[in-house]
């Protein structure tokens, strides 16, 4: 009887509900969890009290007892990168609908933050994990990940023992490079993310493949992986343009990097498509509305997020079965605009 009259400043517990309704705690739990074997009258009586008291179950207690936290971890290097934020947005929508809450962990490319997040995932007994593209040479992180027995999906990333959802960056890189080669370009610069991140790795592979198929050598000096942040692309582009054998075409990421590249072109007095051809990867307002508009390799970011979320939910439901870990690929699409031309005759 001690808790029949709940003190006003304390949130009501399931015992308060049980006491006020004159039933047992277990009945309240059963009703709240829609279990069978509960009479309609009991249900009505309990729900009335629940509403009156504004009872809301304490999810930590639920998690402790039932071993499900209804929480999904989402590890991403940089949520302010529009490529990621669009995928996260779509995934969150899908997971929210299924009753899960997303826990965000932005790693900012630091391995120490990655391992810290994995630790948080373990302590909080999260139910699943979405792992976005990141540096796959981080060994501490990889080994921390290996100890994690948890449904997991890689997004533009390979995760041992887990399926991944990816855009076909290799195919995209191939298509774009082949297109430029077809126009007659022989020195094509590729500005992409760090080499150890899957999309970049794949992109470079596609770039090489296109060269090989055309019987051309690859000049690795033209492949310039960019470190994150700042407008580092700027100096790389300047260096290339001012070098002995400047490129006649540039492939760059469509995010901030494209803006840096355009700055670099401008400050070297070089115009596209007349002086140099330009293709970007990842469609943006800037690519669409620059003058001339920039030909772009694009793919469906939201769809990747959605598929990743759905696949994760399936794996959570199916438990240990469904060990199909084949990657799911989404196609890229090349949008031709007006930023490319045949290279200048010497």
- In the complex, which residues of this chain contact a second copy (CB under 8 A)? 11, 54, 56-61, 63-64, 69, 71, 74, 78-80, 82, 85-86, 88-89, 92-93, 96, 101-106, 108, 113, 119-120, 122-125, 147, 256, 258-259, 262, 284-286, 288-291
Chain position carrying tokens 């999260």: 126
Task: Residue 256: name its binding partner from DNA, a second copy, none (Cβ under 5 to 8 Å by kind).
Answer: a second copy
Binding DNA by CB under 7 A: which of 8, 9, 10, 242?
A: 10
Distance of CA 194 to the CA centre of its chain: 16
Stretch 16-55 residues interacting with DNA (CB under 7 A): 22-30, 32-33, 36-39, 41-42, 55
Q: Which is nearer to DNA, 70 or 268 (CB)?
A: 70
Task: Residue 317: name its binding partner from a second copy, DNA, none (Cβ under 5 to 8 Å by kind).
Answer: none
Q: Could you give the maximum distance between any two Cα atoms of the chain, in Å?
A: 95
Question: Considering only 12-20, 201-209, 228-236, 243-251, which stretch makes contact with DNA by CB under 7 A?
Answer: 12-20
Contact between residue 223 and residue 190 where contact means Cβ atoms under 8 Å apart:
yes
Q: In the chain, which ranges are E strands?
A: 71-76, 101-106, 128-132, 152-155, 164-167, 188-192, 223-225, 249-253, 277-281, 295-298, 328-330, 333-335
CA distance 196 to 35: 49
**What HEC string does 276-336 produce?**
CEEEEECCCHHHHHCCCCCEEEECCHHHHHHHHHHHHHHHHHHCCCCCCCCCEEECCEEEC
278's tokens: 């330009």
Q: What is the DSSP letter of 184?
A: T
Task: Residue 232: name its binding partner from a second copy, DNA, none (Cβ under 5 to 8 Å by kind).
Answer: none
Q: Which is nearer to a second copy, 177 or 295 (CB)?
A: 295
Task: Residue 344: name its binding partner from a second copy, DNA, none (Cβ under 5 to 8 Å by kind).
Answer: none
In angstroms, what is the minimal distance from the CB of 36 to DNA?
A: 6
- Residues in contact with DNA by the rule CB under 7 A: 10-11, 13-15, 22-30, 32-33, 36-39, 41-42, 55-58, 61-62, 64-66
């Amino acid at each position: 009887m001690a808790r029949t009259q709940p003190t006003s400043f304390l949130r009501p517990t399931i015992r308060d509900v049980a006491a006020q309704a004159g039933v047992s705690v277990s009945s309240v739990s059963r009703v709240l969890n829609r279990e069978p074997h509960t009479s309609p009258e009991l249900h009505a009586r309990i729900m009335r009290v629940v509403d009156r008291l504004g009872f809301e179950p304490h999810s930590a207690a639920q998690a402790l007892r039932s071993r499900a936290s209804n929480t999904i971890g989402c590890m991403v290097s940089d949520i302010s990168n529009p490529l990621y934020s669009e995928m996260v947005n779509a995934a969150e929508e899908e997971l929210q609908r299924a009753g899960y809450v997303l826990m965000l962990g932005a790693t900012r490319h630091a391995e120490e933050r990655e391992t810290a997040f994995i630790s948080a995932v373990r302590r909080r007994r999260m139910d699943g994990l979405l792992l976005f593209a990141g540096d796959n040479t981080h060994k501490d992180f990889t080994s921390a990940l290996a100890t994690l027995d948890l449904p997991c999906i890689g997004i533009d990333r390979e995760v041992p023992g887990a399926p991944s959802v990816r855009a076909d960056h290799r195919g995209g890189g191939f298509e774009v490079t082949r297109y430029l080669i077809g126009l007659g370009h022989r020195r094509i610069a590729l500005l992409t993310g760090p080499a150890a991140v899957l999309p970049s790795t794949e992109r470079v592979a596609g770039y090489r493949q296109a060269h090989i198929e055309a019987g051309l050598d690859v000049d690795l000096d033209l492949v310039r992986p960019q470190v994150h942040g700042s407008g580092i692309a700027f100096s790389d582009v300047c260096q290339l343009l001012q070098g002995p054998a400047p490129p006649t075409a540039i492939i760059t990421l469509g995010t901030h990097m494209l803006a840096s590249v355009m700055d670099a072109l401008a400050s070297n007095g070089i115009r596209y498509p007349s002086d140099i051809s330009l293709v970007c990867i990842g469609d943006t307002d800037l690519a669409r509305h620059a003058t001339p508009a920039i030909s772009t390799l694009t793919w469906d970011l939201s769809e990747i997020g959605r598929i990743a979320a759905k696949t994760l939910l399936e794996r959570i439901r199916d438990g240990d079965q469904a060990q199909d870990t084949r990657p799911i690929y989404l196609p890229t699409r090349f949008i031709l605009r007006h930023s490319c031309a045949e290279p200048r005759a010497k």
